[in-house]
Structure 1
Amino acid sequence: MLRKGADIIIETLKKEGVEVIFGIPGGAIMEVYDALYRHGGIKHILARHEQGAGHMAEGYAKATGKVGVAMATSGPGATNLVTPIADAYMDSVPVVFITGQVPTHLIGNDAFQEVDIVGITRPITKHNFLVKRIEDLPLIIRQAFYIASTGRPGPVLIDIPKDITQKLSDVSIPTDEEVRESLPGYKPHVEGNPQQIKKAAKLIMSAKRPVLYVGGGAVQSEAQKELVELAELMKIPVTTTNMGKGAFPEDHPLALHMLGMHGTYYANMAVYNCDLLIAVGARFDDRVTGKIEEFAPQAQIIHIDIDPASISKNITVDVPIVGDVKIVLRKLIEELKKEGAKILFPKERQEWIELIESWKKNYPLRYRNSDSVIKPQYVVEQIWEATKGDAIITAGVGQHQMWAAMFYKYKFPRQFINSGGLGTMGFGLPAAIGAKIGRPEKEVFVIDGDGSFVMTMQELITAVQYKVPVKIAIINNAYLGMVRQWQELFYDRRYAEVDLSVQPDFVKLAEACGAVGFRAEKPKEVREIIEEALKIQDKPVVLDFVVDKEENVLPMVPAGKSYRDMILEDGKKAVEAETMYLVG
């Protein structure tokens, strides 16, 4: 049967199981929106800016593990998606971005609202397509979803000229097998090399001071069960990256919490002093390693990752294992059990665990609370207590993001959703909308900064329109806080262009948009307004927390420095806190 290209698009999206699309219509994509209206069966969320739509699709994908979908028209509609596309690329988020394009015969003629979005996004997509024939439409769409969701996940863009959406064809939708066969050069390796797994098992059994270093790949792979089993079987402490939070429960005795620039003292010291580092779905980014020459200087390194390009890219490793994290960990556990799961140096392993426990006791995450001014860390702790640690938390980017990572204890995968690699201010609110739509049974809190919130605050209207009851906790310090902190510590307090004292009244703004607004200016008011917000389940709530303006995120490893240079809460450096344990 002959159908328009637009109808083929909607039919194929349904075949992929798409439940919701986030987007904004326009001339070049109008045929697709008409088909979406006529067919029904897929919910559409009308964002107020294409960037918001892209981040909503990311939040949906991160919260559910499904492929998110964002759609926009040509020209500025497409270019407004560039930031979320780059964000998804950096954080390995499976999102399919569909953009309209000018008719085929006008491409290259500087037509109205024409941009080469395929060329623009080539460095920031896992793959992208320009559809040139209607007969290719269903295969390209199915390929896009397959590429986005397999191997190391990532964004895929499909640019569709308007005439392709209007033409007629009787092309059929290809099967799963036909999709795989159409991509002969794309075969992600998931199993892991058996000999490398054997080597890894021997190193784990013979290590005296091992540490598991876990990144976002473990979340993507749903490997929490395997991580817990491996850690408990071999008595290995576990630290997670910002993107890996929730892959290992943070209330577990072996949890070291986050490492890196704003990691815990005990996580960073454990990594600095370990003799074996087992990297699982992590990429050794600069915010984790600091000065590369002094990162885990005594350790042999095992690296498990599905992306071969990530292995030995930043840090040379001793045992590379390319494969799906969950599958490789399961085989590694089986290999260890086959060898009796022996710890060859049990005394030294126990001493290692006890040393780390002493670090936890002596140098916990802490801050100086106050009865007169609200501390941002206290706000996060109160949200954690009020939600019983069960909420999904999204964050913008800045100081508040780090406090959200440090003082909310995460216990399940996909619980902490934030912009890690790109560091996109404005990510929090739209991502929360996408997360809540994907996981409606969960309470979803945005922990945002006043600077980050205003970058996408128009999406509050979207949340009102669709009755998405996200809770937005604004850590309002009237500064671009993280920049101000660096200016304080490294630029002699020259506060250049970070003053945000002129801002909207966030309570009135919420009310003007049809949401609910509350403000807390004293510590005793914090829990009160959080509890009030939790009672409201039919619209979004904005919570304006007026906090200590010059509170800093600590601990902190200055950029390019080693863990020995970590600045602690009392202003001391880590190397001054106690004699380093390092052996050899």
Structure 2
Amino acid sequence: MPMMTGSRFFAEAMQAYGVTHIFFVPTMLLPAMAEMEDMNIRRVVTHGEKAAAYMADGYARASHKPGICMAQNIGGANLAAGLRDAYMACSPVIAITGGPDSDSMYRYLYQEVEDFSMFDPVTKFNARIDKLSRLPDLLRQAFREATTGAPRPVHLEMRGSHGQVTEEEGNLELIVEEQYKQYPAFRPEPEMERIREAAKALTSAQKPVIVAGGGVTASQAEPEVVELAEKLSIPVATSLNGKGTISDDHPLALGVVGTYSRRCANQGVAEAELVFFIGSHTGSQVTNNWKIPRPGTAVIQLDISPADLGRNYPNRVSLLGDAKVTLRQLIEQLKPIEPRTSWIRRAQQLVSEWREEVAPVRNSDAVPMRPERICKEITDFLPSNAVLVSDTGHSGIWTGSMIDFKKPEQRYIRCAGSLGWAFPASLGVKCALSDRPVLCFTGDGGFYYHLAELETAARFGINAVIVVNDNRSLNQEIRLFDAAYGGQQRGKSREMWVFEDINLAKVAEAMGCFSVRVERPSELKGALERAFAANKPAVVDVVSDINALASRAWS
């Protein structure tokens, strides 16, 4: 085995695994960063550890490769907090931090707090590298854990406040396991008997519905979902993570179901007699707190995680496997059936009624703008190969329900729950997909979390376009504050959810970005055109109605 420093080994390993970007806050592994000087690896220095984790998360979801983020010991807890969203979204992020060594433990080392256990709840593998000899096998294990089964973050804590264990020299053999460079690393198949049971249940049901979850996106099984739906005349709803599985103008598309949803999707799933969950945890968001589908509805569930099969809805048939290969097997087992004409007609009626209901706000010329109109303008403008990255809260509701995807290459990547995630994540997405248009949709409340990363985007030329639904508030909380005050807010209540009226376009311009402030619906199309043509990071600050609230989810 060749003699080399751990720093050199780490750099060569990152290159061999196809890593193109590392997101970090200094001073972690600086000799290794120096070793990468002549490698095709971009070392993106951020203004905060959470932002670094969010960028790595966006990179991983967009590229289907592990995203790498790092922090020295004092930033470890911040980095752990940033992994929460990646964990909830099943995203393969590899986080690397510094940690204590035996000479400094229990002696009040500057900046040292034992935070290793903080990574346990937000990773599937949490390990220490105390000896240089363990660097090769544990780094391989990190890639293996991150990309197999349901992808999730992993953490390696390296001895020394900024990973000084890697500055030692040793006999280190670089072994690269090709299948763990991307996910899914494996595509397991279920037993054929289960396939036949599922085929029988789907063909015999009078009113079946498919709910496509994030596992469809992870497996890249969108074509198989549409093929199955068309073959058996089955309406398709999606989770937020699964948005884009089927074109929104497809005759079988119901839209996003759950809490951040279209009413027609919730109604369609509620009326179904059989629901086929594909790559979905069947958690509270996709089921509107387990009210849709109705308890007692027959369920088929396909998932790569055996522990999730039947977790929230008892399964008539459980399929353990990768979504893409399992659906292909299922399609090949199916025999032609008569079209479910009346059921499809009912699903289309629900969609038509919903579209008629929301048309007035989607086409509204009101000033300040309605967020539904912002979403209509984005729908009309969005390039055919664009990636839309959405924040949570109102941003998730507006984009999930009001933006239509009509082209198969359009992608949707959404925040799993951490407000403020979308902006830094969109920079990671753009790093992974530099040749594709990337549009981030966030509110001003979410944008403020990591505003400093505008400088990062400008410094590194990460040319994402950020559309800010700027209602100068956290207006999704209006109903909560109303209830807290017994129905009518009073006194200084608005201090808790209303911000100063800041021109965010001027802030972005001062930080080296293209920017434009939009106050009227007629201005938005032109603003988007200029933003995407600017060849630099861009902020489109759209002034919107502070009183525009999303409808409550239908149940």
Normalised to the residue count of structure 2, the TM-score between the two structures is 0.92
Alignment of 1:56-135 (within 5 A): 56-75=55-74, 77-135=75-133
Measure the CA separation in 1 of the matches of 2:290 and 2:25. 44
Deviation at 1:22, TM superposition (A): 0.9
Q: Deviations over 1:159-191 (max 9, x none)?
A: 1113421221112123539999xxxxxx97821
Among candidates 517, 531, 540, match of residue 533 of structure 1: 531
Q: Deviations over 1:367-424 (max 9, x none)?
A: 531344311111122122122454211122221221112222234478112212xx11
Residues 293 and 500 (structure 1 numbering): CA distance in 2 closer, same or farther, change over 3 Å?
Answer: closer
Measure the CA separation in 2 of the matches of 1:112 and 1:415. 45
Letter in 2 for 1:86: R
Measure the CA separation in 1 of the matches of 2:196 and 2:291. 28
> 2:303 touches 2:309 (CA, 8 Å); kept in 1?
yes
Q: Is 1:553 aligned to residue 530 of structure 2?
A: no
Measure the CA separation in 2 of the matches of 1:459 and 1:430. 7
Measure the CA separation in 2 of the matches of 1:178 and 1:455. 36
Among candidates 218, 221, 237, match of residue 235 of structure 2: 237
Q: Is 1:24 aligned to residue 25 of structure 2?
A: yes
Identity %: 29
Q: Is 1:140 aligned to residue 134 of structure 2?
A: no
Q: Is 1:342 aligned to residue 340 of structure 2?
A: no
Q: Which residue does the alignment assign to 1:314? A: 312
Q: Deviations over 1:284-321 (max 9, x none)?
A: 11122235366334521000000112122222222111
Q: Which residue does the alignment assign to 2:5? A: 4
Measure the CA separation in 1 of the matches of 2:374 and 2:187. 44
Deviation at 1:526, TM superposition (A): 2.2
Q: Deviations over 1:348-385 (max 9, x none)?
A: x2111111111122222615313443111111221221
Q: Runs of 5+ in structure 1 lacking a partner?
A: 181-186, 558-562, 565-584
> 2:441 touches 2:466 (CA, 8 Å); kept in 1?
yes
Q: Which residue does the alignment assign to 2:415? A: 419
Q: Runs of 5+ in structure 2 lacking a partner?
A: none
Alignment of 1:53-452 (within 5 A): 53-75=52-74, 77-162=75-160, 163-176=164-177, 190-292=188-290, 295-297=293-295, 299-336=297-334, 340-343=335-338, 346=339, 349-364=340-355, 366=358, 367-368=360-361, 369-410=364-405, 411-412=407-408, 415-420=411-416, 423-452=417-446
Q: Which residue does the alignment assign to 1:579? A: none
Measure the CA separation in 1 of the matches of 2:63 and 2:343. 37
Secondary structure class of the residue paired with 2:151:
coil
Greater shift, 88-97 or 359-368, is seen at: 359-368
Residues 298 and 315 (structure 1 numbering): CA distance in 2 closer, same or farther, change over 3 Å?
Answer: closer
> 1:257 touches 1:264 (CA, 8 Å); kept in 2?
yes
Secondary structure class of the residue paired with 2:103:
helix
Secondary structure class of the residue paired with 1:315:
coil
Measure the CA separation in 1 of the matches of 2:176 and 2:369. 57
> 2:158 touches 2:165 (CA, 8 Å); kept in 1?
yes
Deviation at 1:34, TM superposition (A): 3.3
Q: Is 1:542 aligned to residue 539 of structure 2?
A: yes
Q: Deviations over 1:95-115 (max 9, x none)?
A: 111112233432454422223
Q: Which residue does the alignment assign to 1:506? A: 504
Residues 489 and 362 (structure 1 numbering): CA distance in 2 closer, same or farther, change over 3 Å?
Answer: farther
Measure the CA separation in 1 of the matches of 2:332 and 2:497. 56
> 2:261 touches 2:400 (CA, 8 Å); kept in 1?
no
